[in-house]
Amino acid sequence: MLPVAAYSLVLAVMGTTGVGPCDLVDRAAATQLLGVPPASVTPSGPEPDEDTGGTRTTCVYMAGQRMLVVIRVAYASAAAAREATTQEMQAEKLAEDDATAKEVSGPGDKAFLVHTKYGVQYVVLKGSSVISLALGGMPNPLPTYEAQLRTAAGAAATKL
């Protein structure tokens, strides 16, 4: 009985699209972002996101020191997702990392570009979901990855 319940929870989080966390950004797109093929791909979730009340799934692509983290947080409604996705909240979530967040034009209903001392992140609100693509451990200055992240986030948003 437990496997059926777990499967039902996964389907509820993925919604009607059937998109899992590692489906949002495939291996080819991750390779393009990282500059090398990922050595490992690790999905996790679904699990409650205690900070926002949503349900989080994650996919981590690793290639040596380079890392791409793809997070999807699903909410009960688009209104709940909008409430949890403001410029202030993006910066607050990463305050200990000296984050700066700015709203940018982009895919979805709303988009943010977030910089920390460790990486760069592109956050997209679309309907009742928020997706985040974050790069860290990269060899070049982080602003050089913004356009690639925006493109990948846009492609991921179309899968929701």
pLDDT digits (tens, 9 = 90+) for 19-61: 788 999 999 999 999 999 999 999 998 999 887 889 999 999 9
Stated as kind and residue range, the H or E segment containing 151 is: helix 146-157
> Would you say 133 and 121 are in contact if contact means Cβ atoms under 8 Å apart?
yes
| Count of structural domains within the chain | 1
For residue 144, give its domain range. Answer: 2-157
Average pLDDT in the chain? 81
pLDDT at 11: 35
Residue 78 belongs to a domain with what CATH number?
Answer: 3.40.1000
